[in-house]
Structure 1
């Protein structure tokens, strides 16, 4: 029986890319978008969480990404 690694891989990649302040922060303090500032706020955490939920739903439910091992 092969394990489905699709949800795990997609979730880890999106988590790293959408960590507020790592690559970008939406919204930033005083600006709409800031890149690589390594700071965060409660509002940016909420926005990045909504973006993460939307993308993970699209990739896993709508597109159906599956990566099998074994």
Structure 2
């Protein structure tokens, strides 16, 4: 049986935390902009830190496991 938990969590977080797709923190004109499909270097760094924190919490602290097979 394969553990698909880390793969599933990583893909979902990557899609949700892509800068400019759902939201961008910091935005160009405001602190948070929603659905603008633009990005900046600062937004990439902030989203990378948020991604790392969330994936660490889900995989290490909570221990998400999805077994298929």
Equivalent residue number for residue 27 of structure 1: 26
What stretches of structure 1 move > 2 A for 4+ residues in a row?
A: none
Inter-partner Cα distance in structure 2 for 1:41 and 1:53: 18
Gapped runs of 5+ residues in structure 1? none
Inter-partner Cα distance in structure 1 for 2:23 and 2:14: 13
Equivalent residue number for residue 66 of structure 1: 65
Gapped runs of 5+ residues in structure 2? none
Equivalent runs, 1:30-69 vs 2, <5 Å = 30-69=29-68
SS in 1 for 2:27: coil
TM-score, scaled relative to structure 1: 0.97
The count of corresponding residues between Structure 1 and Structure 2 is 69
TM-score, scaled relative to structure 2: 0.98
Provide, for residues 3-56 of structure 1, a one-character-per-residue CA deviation record: whole Å limited to 9, x for no partner.
000000000000000000000000001210000000000000000000000000
